Structures are given as C-alpha cells and as structure tokens.
Chains A and B, each alone.
Chain A
Amino acid sequence: MAASRAILSGCRRCLRSWRDCRRLSPSLSSSGVRLCASASGETGSDTSKPTLPSPPDFFHPAVQSILVQITGVDIETVFHQVRAKVDPPTYRLMTEEQLKKAYDETVQRASKKLQMPPVLPERAPIDPTPIAENPELEGLETSNLVFTDISQNIPDRERFIVVRELDGVLRRATWEERDRLLQVYFPKEGRRIRPPPLFQEDHMNIVLEADRHVDLLDLCCIQFEPDSQDFIRIHRHVYEDVYHGKKYGLLRSTRHFGGLAWYLTQNSKVDDLLVDMLQVDLADDAVQLVRLYCMLHPDSQSATQIAQGNLQGLDTVKAFAKYDAVKGGVVELAVQAYQAAQTGTEQADTS
C-alpha cells in the first residue's frame, strides 16, 4: 500500500497530501457522502409481500418487470441504421435452427442495450466544514490546490479528494469538483471534463425541436452521474417536452422509456401515454401502466376500486379513466375505440 501511494502524478498542483490522507478516515461516509443504494428509504425489502404498504422503489422487481414490458424490444429500433462508419454487411447461409438461434441472440443483445439508467434521488451535498485551518498559508498561492488520491482499485465514491483554498482552509471537494477531477485522472470514454453548453436550457430546446430526445438523453447518461443535479434536471426537461408534445413513440423501445414511464406515473401524467398505447394497439402495456400507477399511488380511488372489484384487463383502464384520470373522457374514448377495432377485426376474421 505504501508503494502504491508513492506514485506522484507529476503535476505540481496534483501532489497528494500524505499527512492529511493518513490522518483522515478513508471512507467518506462520516462526511455525509453516501453510496446511492441507501439514499432512498425503501429498497426492495418487502419482496415477499404481494401488496406493499408503502410505494415501491424504482428498483423493485415488480416495478422493473412492468417497465421492461412496456418498453418493449423492437429489433428495428434498437439496431437502427446509425450514421457512422460501418462495414459492409456480411451474408451467411443458415439453417432454420441456426437462424432461430441467431434471432434469440439478437433479442438478448437488444435487451442488454435496453438496460435502464437508474432513477435515484439527488445526492446530498458534501459536508463543507473544514478539515483543517492553516491561516499561515494565506497569500502563498494564487489559486486553490486540489489533492486527489490516485491509487488504483478504489471506487470513485470513496476516493479522497480535498481542496486547499487560498485562505488556508482544507475542505472536502464538492460533487462538481469531484466529477471533474475523476474525469481528469480516470477518464471515461465520451465524457468531457467540463459539461458542454449543450445541456443548458436554450441549447437543449434546439435539440428537442429536432426530435432528438434519445440522443440528448444518451449524451446526458454519458456525461453525468445518475444522482447528480444536472442528470435529474435534464431528464425532467426532456420528459416534460415528451409529455407536452406527446412524442412517446420517440422513446419507445429505447433504454429511456422506463424512466419516462416512472416519472409520468409518479407525477400522475399518464393519461396521454395510455391513449397513445391504445392507439398503437398496445392494450397490455396500458393495463400494466395502470397497475404501476396503483402500485405507486395505493391510496388513490382507482387503486381501491380495482382492488375491491378485482378488475382485470381493460376494466382497470376504464376504472382509472373514471376516477383518477385528468382527461378521463379522452381515455374512455380511446378504450372504446380500441375495443371496437378489436371486435371489428374479430368479425372480419370469423366472416
């Protein structure tokens, strides 16, 4: 361990402060920095009970299964033609079995690509109280010095990063400073040291006008941590734009649909999404979405009515439209239109 800590980064500003590192506790849990796992109150501890007394977490298995189902796996969308330097296609002669195996592998690869970014509450700010105060250092430097522990095999959240300010105060680095310096020493592919102006409101609106919601969200996932302020702000902005513009089709069968559905359900904005699903003949998805709503709002009228009446299928959607939907009429009409279309096709099939 001593040998690994003897590595100096070579830059004058990046010398590690030996004594401070040894003196202070290595884990930052005492300073108010916590791993994201314990940030939300209820993690999936009640998996055994079918009905949960409190609303479940994003990572609850039941919630995740619903979100995965409504995201869907559309091979054409997941593996769409990209604007990049690609090799010419290869052609193979296959038997039926080989073709089926290749297709199953493709579906597996697609579901890997559809891994959802986590939805986490915003990280608590780092404790700003000074670690040490050395007024004798005042006036010696013209800028702050940052000391980073660059030993290998330390998780990013536990890495030691402290700042010596101009007036001699030694404090822990803020989240923004931490993200920047971790990118300097341990760069991640595609991430910039300073976030580009793309993520400001004006520039985001330009991108969203061109219907490039997925690209913007992908870049946001690359640049920011899931529990950072910017990540949550950008996702909220994009989801609101999708909601107001009713552009649900843009995110369907992408990794971001689960987050969108979660956000809308939490904020009770699911009416238009239900209508959109019914119009695209995804009645099962609509039912699942209502089920998710009942899980997240167990005290709502529709949840109690559905539980009491033991309603199934599209009846749940009708109950939701009656009791809790803001645009109940529109949802009812959509359900009726869907059912009419179904009976029409059945008659056409039978005749």
Chain B
Amino acid sequence: MAAPMRFVAIQLSRRVYPLWQAVSHQRNLTTQLQARWNTSSYLQQARSLSRTSVVMCDAEEENVEEGASKESELPVVTWEESVRYLQSSEFAERYNGREVWWDYVRNHKGSVPPQKTRKTCIRARRIATGNPCPICRDQNLVVDYRNVELLQHFICPHTGEMHNVLRTGVCQKKHRLLIKEIEKAKDHGKGFFNTHISRIYLCLAHV
C-alpha cells in the first residue's frame, strides 16, 4: 500500500508533500469534520463571501447571529468519551488505522515551512483558522494523561521520544499540552515509559 513519503528528522526543513491520495483524504476528512466546527464569526463571514452571496433580510441576519452565539462554544468532550471514540469504527474509518496527523499538511509560502507551528487554532472557544491542526480539527480527540492511546499517536514507536512538532503539525498550545500530559501519564505508570535508564545511582552506604 502506498504510504506518504516521510523524510527523516534531519530533513524536516524541507516541505513534505504527501501523495495525492493523502491530500485527497485530508480534503475529505476536513469536509467531514467541518460540519462540526464552530468557527469564529470572522471565518464564517469570510466563507460566506467567498461562496454564493446569500441575501438575507435584517431579521434573518439577527437570528443567524443569535444562533451562532448560542452555539458559540466548542462542545466539551470528556476524556472517557475520547477513549471510546478511539476504539470506535468511526475513528477507524476516518483515520484508516494511521496516526491522526499522518495526512495533515500545513499551508505556507515557499518550500521551507516556518520552524514554529501556529500559536493556537482555537481563539475565544471557536476555531479561528481554515486549516486547524490534527488535534483541534477533531473535537473528539481530547489530550489527557488517561487517554493513552491518543498520546501514543504522538510518540515514536522506535525511540520512545515525542515526534517533532513540525512533523505532526499541531499548534503550539496543543504541543505543550501533549508534552505535559505525556509526562503526567509516565508519572502515573499509564502504559509506557522509556525503559532505557543509562545509569542507576545506588547509594551504597554499607561496608
């Protein structure tokens, strides 16, 4: 099965262009998830302008704004629901058994991506960008130290280290949250930790 090309870590400064299948998959996925996004009003306006211009009377416009403000906040999903979601067929179908970030492509000018991802995808509890990062685009992915399966997506299976943020494409805020939750999961013994301990200090205070 054709897999998207992935260069090793030393060449991360070059733009990684996935195969066409991966790009089309991302487009489909984005369309699927877009229905659930509660986007900021600015983005809604921008989208409505770029597509057909709908003429609404004042009363309808007011209704639309009220409706938007009532559903303004992104739905709160608990970590248990997220764990169940990761086991579900919906998840398997959406991500094809791969990591949640495998098909994500950042949009930027030129061949070298900015060496920092965006600060955050979510502002004022709404999505504030047209291409949210792999975690922010799917509301059911909750980063929590008890949600070990999701955290495993962001850890290299060979070295046990966290993937580089340029590889996964997550926003900085979520990246910091991931680091924190992975550390917390290790502290609670949730499944995984580096077994390579180079030196063990034994206080040999005996004879």
Contact = CB atoms under 8 A, between A and B. Distances in A.
Contacts of A210: 191
Interface string A183-201: 0000011110000111000
A115 to B, nearest CB: 7
A84 B159 contact: yes
Given A37-B206, A84-B160, A215 B200 contact: no
A109 B158 CA distance: 25
B160 A203 contact: no
B195 A82 contact: yes
Interface stretch (B38-46, B52-60, B182-190): B182-190
B196 A83 contact: yes
B205 A36 contact: yes
A83 B160 contact: yes
B195 A85 contact: no
A103 interface: no
Contacts, number: 82
Contact of A191 (B161, B195, B201): B201
Interface string B21-61: 00000000000000000000000000000000000000000
A117 B205 contact: no
B194 interface: yes
Contact of B206 (A83, A118, A219): A118
Given A84-B196, A198-B188, A210-B191, A226 B201 contact: no
B160 A35 contact: no
Interface string A87-123: 0000000000000000000000000000101101000
Nearest to A205: B189
A218 B200 contact: yes
Contacts of A44: 207
A341 to B, nearest CB: 34
Contacts of B195: 82-84, 212, 214-215
A188 B199 CA distance: 10
A225 B197 contact: no
A218 B190 contact: no
A118 B204 contact: yes
Contact of A203 (B189, B194, B202, B206): B189
Interface string A209-246: 01010111011011001110000000000000000000
B159 A59 contact: no
Contact of B207 (A43, A83, A222): A43
B206 A59 contact: yes
B203 interface: yes
Contacts of B203: 156, 225-226
A247 interface: no
A7 interface: no
Interface residues of B, number: 25
A137 B168 CA distance: 57
Contact of B199 (A43, A84, A85, A189): A189
Nearest to B9: A85
B193 interface: yes
A157 interface: yes
Contact of A215 (B188, B193, B201, B202): B193
Contacts of B160: 83-84
Contacts of A197: 187-188
Contacts of B201: 188-191, 221-222
B159 A85 contact: yes
A206 interface: yes
A203 B191 CA distance: 10
B189 A83 contact: no
A115 B201 CA distance: 11
Given A83-B159, A84-B159, A117 B189 contact: no
B8 to A, nearest CB: 12
A311 interface: no
A14 interface: no
Given A83-B158, A203-B188, A206-B189, A221 B196 contact: no
Given A84-B194, A196-B186, 8 more contacts: A35-B205, A44-B207, A83-B159, A190-B197, A197-B187, A203-B189, A210-B191, A226-B205
Interface of A: 35-37, 43-44, 59, 82-86, 115, 117-118, 120, 156-157, 188-191, 196-198, 203-204, 206-207, 210, 212, 214-216, 218-219, 221-222, 225-227, 255
23 contacts: A82-B195, A83-B157, A83-B160, A83-B195, A84-B159, A85-B159, A115-B202, A120-B206, A157-B205, A188-B201, A190-B197, A190-B199, A196-B187, A198-B187, A198-B188, A206-B190, A215-B193, A215-B195, A225-B203, A226-B203, A226-B204, A226-B205, A227-B205
